[in-house]
């Protein structure tokens, strides 16, 4: 059975190569009608990215009010401690 599958795959590839434009086969791809296509909009990932960027912009505005670029992150005895409302990204 495995040999039959291998022969089918081989014959499929032989057909692909023998029917290719490079090997002199008729190719009508240049004469096919063209269709306009646009990328999908308002997908979940696009909305999520917009939300994350908006949150990052809000966070940077809040930290720009302080003198330190680290905001309210403090270091004590060599150990980094985060404000409970902050997360690492």
- Give pTM, 2 decimals: 0.35
Band (80; pLDDT cuts 50, 70, 90): low
Model confidence at 7, in pLDDT bands (50, 70, 90)? low
Short-list 60, 67, 65, 68, CA closest to 89: 60
Of residues 39 and 81, the one with the higher pLDDT is: 39
> What's residue 40's pLDDT?
94
Taking the C-alpha atoms of residue 57 and residue 47, their distance in angstroms, rounded to an integer, is 15
Predicted confidence (pLDDT) at residue 17 exceeds the cutoff of 70:
yes
Q: Which of the two residues, 29 and 82, has the higher pLDDT score?
A: 29
* Of the candidates 33, 16, 34, the residue with the CA atom closest to the CA atom of residue 25: 16
């Amino acid at each position: 059975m495995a040999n039959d599958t291998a022969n089918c795959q081989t014959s499929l590839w032989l057909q692909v190569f023998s029917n290719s434009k490079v090997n002199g086969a008729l190719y009508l791809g240049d004469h096919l009608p063209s269709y306009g296509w646009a990328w999908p909009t308002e997908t979940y990932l696009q909305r999520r990215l917009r939300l994350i960027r908006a949150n990052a912009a809000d966070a940077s505005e809040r930290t720009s009010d302080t003198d330190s670029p680290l905001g309210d992150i403090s270091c004590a005895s060599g150990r980094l401690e985060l404000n409970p409302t902050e997360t690492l990204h």
